[in-house]
A and B are shown apart, each in its own frame.
Chain A
Amino acid sequence: MRLESSSRHAVAPKVYDAAMGSTLDPVARERAQTEAHELVRAWNGRSIGLGGLLGRLGSVDQVGVEERAASLAKRSIKRASKLWALDLIVRMIDLTTLEGKDTPGKVHALCQKARRPDPADPSVPSVAAMCVYPALVAVARAALAGSGVRVASVATGFPSGQTFLELKLAETELAIEAGADEVDMVIDRGAFLCGDYVTVFDEIVAVKAACRTTLLKVILETGELGTYDNVRRASLLAMAAGADFIKTSTGKVSPAATLPVTLVMLEAIRDFERRTGRAVGMKPAGGIRTSREAIAYLVVLYETLGPGWMTPDRFRFGASSLLNDVLMQIRKERDGRYSGGDYFSLD
């Protein structure tokens, strides 16, 4: 099955072919494309244009989904479950620093936090990953050696994605060479919003091919997509194109992650898994600052996808200040007293 080409491709096929051809391992590329096409075919069973395909994939009622998310947020969990949840949240955090002013010193310090979030309490586990810009991947890798904490790198012209495909692919490859275990890419929102879904799709396929066995998270930047319908479409498109995780935001645009957006994405994951048998993970990122909020996300996760997704292999929090609040809550559950900000390091 050949997917329809967009007009952008018609205009610049040479650039596209050159990009696809020169920077990738052809075997990997072909496998990724085949897999992607298989996924799209499995999803739909017929050969139709991507725009039409996405249009049929269902709509979302804003008021209804926001009400559902709000009612889930009212659940209260048992104290024993809460302790387990706090521990899980730590294990799910991708501790993040993505600033122009990041230095090796800053990254090194944060990596220590990532390995041992609470020096006073060795029972607190390490976080899932450190998330940094490509230039600092090597620093992170060195700082985290032997810890089990993974290194995630943003790539593809993060955060805007407004650059050339060759550069996006080159950045991905170099980040992996520098030692990234995971790549967080951004989709081309400009292409998406003008309906050029094929470009968005093909770019993800290409990046996935460049990733080979490296885990690929696809950032949808839900705050720019404007509607829950678009969030659902982008989710399904990204999964069909080979994403291992779909992620809400870069953290640079407001609104970032919200409960309703997360619910929409989790429902898309559920539908996709039912159709294709492939389980894709989810990562809300940006704007989650308190344990209470994070637990609400876990409630939404549990009620939508069940116990099988309650693991860092399938769910991550993209956060920085959340960690300290969780540490405070853990300490409060253990000591019985509320703590203060001074007792936890600010890295």
Chain B
Amino acid sequence: MPRPRQATPGGGPVDASAAVGTPGRIAVRKTYKLYIGGAFPRSESGRSYVVKGADGSPLANAVRGSRKDVRDAVRAARAAFAGWEARTAVNRGQILYRVAELLEGRREQFEAEVGAAEGLAPAEARAQVDRAVDRWVWYAGWADKISQVLGTVNPVAGSYFDFTIPEATGVVGVVAPETSSLLGLVSRLAPVLVGGNVAVVLASEGRPLPAVTLSEVLATSDVPGGVVNIITGLRRELVPHLAAHMDVNAIDAWGVPPDLIVSVEEAAMDNVKRVARPPRGAAERFDWLDDRAAQRPEWIAAFLEMKTVWHPIGV
């Protein structure tokens, strides 16, 4: 059960993830950093911003990521892509399952952070974390099956063997949902990874802390460095750079503020990025707890390319 927040004597932020502390003992507060290329750098800009809880009280400083951090993250992601995609599907699935194992293992910390960020009662926070773990497991199991559901052998009119198989798109920029700090993020990130893509995630601006803790989980699972990169910061500063980056192959735009969506889609056209967006108006009131709505193989397919191969059949 997480302690209610208290103001510190100095008025600075309090670490919301502190477990029940020992009276008289000063907690060692966590520093929330970026996660790029498997490491935890600070922003090259050296800036941070204050993250507040749902009740307005300061929780921690988060890194205010810059466009250079985005640039570095994309570079790290691209470098990691070939290796991640080349792994066998079952291997990717097992790596992703391990992430779920570690998520489960740190559930109390997540419950505390999600509860503080979103102003949830403990039971609600627990429901969110439960669902996040289960959802991650659900997507992990798709890794070695999705190509059987999406792939086809096509009965062409000629002596040719013709098949279509899905392949990863490449580097996906994920603009995480703003309000659902863990479950929403997991729901959008897991399907990206299942298909063999690598991700550059822009965490929720107002509720970034669970995302950073997630990055710690990723770093200690078997996910290779660079496969997921998580950047915290201000949406309006970061989204345009991600959308315009020529080495990003797709954008998951679920978390893009409505007034930025036009410019994001315009910028995406510079290198014909694939853009995944929610049905009109759905993002704000999306019920992430609804499995039917948020567990969809189409969300994996959105970041897959269909490759068709032909070969003559002859002696």
Contacts and interface: CB of A to CB of B under 8 A. Distances in A.
- CB–CB under 8 A between A and B in the complex? yes
Interface of A: 61-64, 66, 226-228
A189 B315 CA distance: 18
Interface in B156-201: 158-160
A69 to B, nearest CB: 13
Contacts of B160: 63
A64 B315 contact: no
B315 A63 contact: no
Nearest to A65: B314
16 contacts: A61-B312, A61-B314, A62-B312, A62-B314, A62-B315, A63-B158, A63-B159, A63-B160, A63-B312, A63-B313, A63-B314, A64-B312, A66-B314, A226-B315, A227-B315, A228-B315
A62 B159 CA distance: 10
A227 B314 CA distance: 9
Contacts of A228: 315
Contacts of A66: 314
Nearest to A227: B315
A227 B312 CA distance: 15
* Interface of chain B, main secondary structure: loop
Contacts of A64: 312
Contacts of B158: 63
A63 B311 CA distance: 10
Nearest to B158: A63
Contacts of A227: 315
Contacts of B314: 61-63, 66
A226 B315 CA distance: 8
B313 to A, nearest CB: 7
Which interface residue of B158, B313, B314 has the most chain A CB atoms within 10 A? B314
A62 B314 CA distance: 5
Nearest to B312: A63
A63 B314 CA distance: 6
A226 B314 CA distance: 11
A62 B315 CA distance: 6
Given A66-B314, A226-B315, 14 more contacts: A61-B312, A61-B314, A62-B312, A62-B314, A62-B315, A63-B158, A63-B159, A63-B160, A63-B312, A63-B313, A63-B314, A64-B312, A227-B315, A228-B315
A62 B158 CA distance: 13
Nearest to A230: B315
B311 to A, nearest CB: 9
A227 B159 CA distance: 16
8 closest cross-chain pairs (CB), A and B = A62-B314, A63-B312, A63-B314, A227-B315, A63-B159, A62-B315, A61-B312, A61-B314
A64 B314 CA distance: 9
A61 B158 CA distance: 15
Interface in B263-315: 312-315
A66 to B, nearest CB: 8
A227 B160 CA distance: 18
Which interface residue of A63, A66, A227 has the most chain B CB atoms within 10 A? A63
Nearest to B313: A63
Nearest to A229: B315
B148 to A, nearest CB: 28
Nearest to A63: B312
Nearest to A64: B312
A216 B159 CA distance: 38
Contacts of B159: 63
A227 B158 CA distance: 19
A66 B158 CA distance: 12
Nearest to B160: A63
A228 B315 CA distance: 8
A302 to B, nearest CB: 26
A66 B315 CA distance: 12
A61 B313 CA distance: 9
A226 B158 CA distance: 21
A225 to B, nearest CB: 11
A64 B313 CA distance: 10
A333 to B, nearest CB: 37
Interface in B136-161: 158-160
Contacts of A61: 312, 314
Nearest to A226: B315
Contacts of A226: 315
B161 to A, nearest CB: 11
A228 B312 CA distance: 14
Contacts of A62: 312, 314-315
A257 to B, nearest CB: 18
Nearest to B314: A62
B157 to A, nearest CB: 13
